[in-house]
């Protein structure tokens, strides 16, 4: 950092969500000074509205490896990062339709090869793990006994605090208004708090990332995606915590948190809405649909009570996978488009992005499949079964 100019640094990170914070942390561990510019406050966007699932069940190897590497951080947070992330072990169950059983077996085999603790279980096994669940509409599921959930805002703040302790700078209430360039490469940004200079700029702005891309005339397939969730108070009959679940037959996921259960739906999530819309309330009709779905899987929930419901926005890509890497003018990088699934992989992606920026290649996990060029090259990432956004 130039001691004569407090607004000059090695890297500018646009966005103070969990991904911007993770990248700043890993850059700081390498002795690189990053300035994080956040238009509101840490975790104000998708991170603050994330459901916080920490599990490894993905049907692509790169996703599974990133989730597994990140899991090591969540399980050893105080030693690796410091502060609190709120990780709670709950166990995770992936329920699939009968026609997806072959894909489920292949996914579990892939993950076991990586070293992830996961196994195939029967519907009877699920009934023993969660007696309150209805289990007559599927035959097999995947079970991760060590998985759980964490507190997204706590996670982002812990990463940001650790980054600042190592030399990073955080500027909040600071919206980027333009990208400055010199000789065909980025030189910094203009903001509502003045000019910031750096030879590298990383767009980690989540649902607002496409607005940043347009500042450098970058045209990528990128949209906004809205997602609602609700918390219900479990009835006394099922007062004890249950495992986390992604439930493909009911197009839903849910997890415990104390005496509450968080519920989110896969369907009915609008694309293209302004990310500045109302995230404090769920869309009309969402609560009724979510109650119906959770009662299909857990019939006793009919005696539960609604606690709260809210929305949230993230950036989404055509293959529902992030855009990671350099594109556009020299020095411009993307860490966005996480499509609602980015919380659990943020520790590893921050590490891999730092490696890519500083070493020219990610070493911990090869993130080249997420390169921005895949859209023009028609190399979209394909999944064995449809993603559930969370």
The helix (run of H) or strand (run of E) holding residue 153 is helix 152-165
Dump the DSSP string for 281-338.
SPPTTHHHHHHHHHHHH-GGGGG-EEEEEE--EEEE-TTS--EEEE-SSBTEEEEE--
The pairing of strands 169-171 and 34-37 is parallel
pLDDT score at 2: 45
What is the topology classification, in CATH, of domain 91-147+224-316? Answer: D-Amino Acid Oxidase; Chain A, domain 2 (3.30.9)
Find the helix or strand (DSSP H, E) in which 13 lies: strand 11-14
Distance separating alpha carbons of residues 22 and 18, to the nearest angstrom? 6
In angstroms, the first-to-last Cα distance of the chain is: 38
User: C-alpha dihedral over 192, 197, 199, 205, to 10 degrees?
Assistant: -20
The three-point CA angle 204-94-258 to 5° equals 75
pLDDT at 240: 87
Q: Residues 6 or more apart from 352 whose CB is under 8 A from it? A: 66, 324, 362, 363, 364, 365, 367
Contact (Cβ atoms closer than 8 angstroms) between residue 227 and residue 312: yes
Among 174, 200, 221, 183, smallest CA distance to 44 is for 174
Residue 383 C-alpha from the chain's centroid: 17
Low-confidence ranges of the chain (pLDDT < 70): 1-5, 385-390
- Could you give the angle at which helices 61-75 and 101-114 cross, rounded to 10 degrees? 50
What is the predicted pLDDT for the residue at 385?
61
- pLDDT tens track for 160-206: 999 999 999 999 999 999 999 999 999 999 999 999 999 999 999 99
pLDDT, tens only, 309-318: 999 999 999 9
CATH assignment of 11-49+153-223+317-374, given 3.40.630.30, 3.50.50.60, 3.30.70.270, 3.40.50.300?
Answer: 3.50.50.60
Residue written as tokens 């995947």?
Answer: 142
Q: Where are the domains positioned within the chain?
A: 11-49+153-223+317-374, 91-147+224-316
Helix 18-29 vs helix 152-165: crossing angle, to nearest 10? 30
Residue 383 is predicted with a pLDDT of 81
149, 55 Cβ separation under 8 angstroms: no
For the four alpha carbons of 390, 307, 294 and 87, in that order, the dihedral sign comes to positive
Does pTM top 0.75 for this prediction?
yes
Residue 302: count other Cβ atoms within 10 Å of its Cβ: 11
């Amino acid at each position: 950092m130039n001691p004569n100019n407090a607004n000059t640094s090695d890297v500018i990170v646009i966005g103070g969500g969990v991904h911007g914070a993770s990248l700043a942390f890993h850059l700081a561990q390498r002795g690189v000074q990053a300035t994080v510019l956040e238009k509101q406050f840490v975790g104000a966007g998708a991170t603050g509205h994330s459901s916080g699932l920490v599990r490894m069940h993905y049907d692509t190897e790169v996703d599974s490896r990133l989730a597994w590497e990140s899991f090591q951080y969540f399980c050893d947070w105080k030693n690796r990062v410091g502060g609190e992330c709120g990780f709670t072990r709950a166990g995770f169950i992936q329920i699939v339709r009968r026609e997806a059983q072959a894909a489920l077996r292949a996914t579990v085999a892939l993950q076991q090869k990586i070293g992830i603790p996961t196994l195939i279980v029967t519907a009877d096994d699920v009934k023993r793990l969660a007696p309150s669940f209805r289990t007559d509409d599927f035959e097999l599921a995947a079970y991760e006994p060590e998985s759980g959930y964490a507190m997204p805002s706590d996670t982002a703040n812990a990463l940001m605090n650790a980054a600042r302790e190592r030399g990073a700078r955080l500027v909040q209430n600071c919206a980027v208004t333009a990208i400055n360039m010199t000789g065909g490469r980025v030189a910094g940004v203009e903001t509502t708090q003045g000019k910031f200079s750096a030879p590298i700029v990383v767009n980690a702005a989540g649902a607002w990332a496409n607005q940043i891309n347009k500042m450098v005339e970058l045209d990528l397939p990128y949209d906004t995606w809205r997602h609602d969730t609700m918390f219900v108070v479990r009835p006394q009959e099922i007062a004890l915590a249950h495992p986390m679940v992604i439930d493909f037959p009911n197009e839903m996921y849910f997890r415990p948190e104390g005496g509450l259960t968080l519920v989110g739906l896969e369907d009915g999530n609008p694309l293209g809405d302004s990310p500045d819309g109302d995230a404090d309330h769920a869309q009309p009709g969402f609560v009724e649909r979510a109650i119906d779905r959770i009662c299909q899987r857990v019939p006793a929930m009919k005696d539960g009570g609604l606690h709260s419901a809210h929305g949230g926005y993230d950036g989404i890509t055509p293959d529902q996978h992030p855009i990671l890497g350099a594109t556009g003018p020299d020095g411009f990088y993307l860490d966005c488009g996480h499509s609602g699934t980015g919380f659990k992989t943020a520790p590893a992606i921050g590490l891999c992005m730092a490696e890519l920026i500083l070493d020219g290649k990610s070493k911990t996990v090869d993130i080249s499949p997420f390169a921005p060029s895949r859209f023009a090259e028609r190399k979209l990432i394909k999944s064995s079964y449809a993603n559930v956004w969370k």
